[in-house]
Amino acid sequence: MINSNIRPLWRDDLLRVGHLVDVNDMFPSAMLTEMTAPFFGGQVEEHRWLVFYNGQVDGVAYYVPEQLTEGTWNLLLIAVDPKLHGRGIGTDLMRFVETELCSQGHRVLLVETSGKPEFERTRGFYDMLGYDREARIRDYYADGDDKIIFRKSLA
């Protein structure tokens, strides 16, 4: 099922996307210009950016193929306005990504997040969506900040 609120990222969305990245403490939003450059430069198959738009951008997702693999993709960013958490926007974005990749014959979607206590809700989100906790890399982001890798088969 296609959600009519989900569309590709537009340049005019970047200010709002930067806000979503900042309020969710994802990474410095100043990185967005460089991160979106390949997408806006025409590499839309390798760098996929989607937004959930309902009068304004309320969510964003960014995913790329995992290098040196066959049909494995990595979701590098998903962020939803914290005022709208729990309303299904993140789930809609994830389902859209999964359905799109599956319909194109891709096999696996990976998602990485922090192992810190403040990311427990995020990890629970991926658990709820049926992702397997595939790996933990201790002290990956910084001392005491593990990387948790989730995996889902798209078949």
Please count the residues of the chain.
Answer: 155
62, pLDDT greater than 90: yes
pLDDT over threshold 80, residue 2: no
Query: Taking the model in full, what pTM does it have?
Result: 0.94
Domain count, the chain: 1
In a domain, 50, yes or no: yes
Return the CATH number at 25: 3.40.630.30
Full residue range of the structural domain in which residue 14 is found: 6-153
The answer to whether residue 1 is domain-embedded is no
Q: What average pLDDT does range 110-126 have in this prediction?
A: 95
**Average of per-residue pLDDT across 35-45:** 95
Residue 1 has pLDDT above 70, yes or no: no
- List strands edge to edge, sheet with 145-153: 6-8, 48-53, 57-65, 72-80, 108-114, 145-153, 132-142
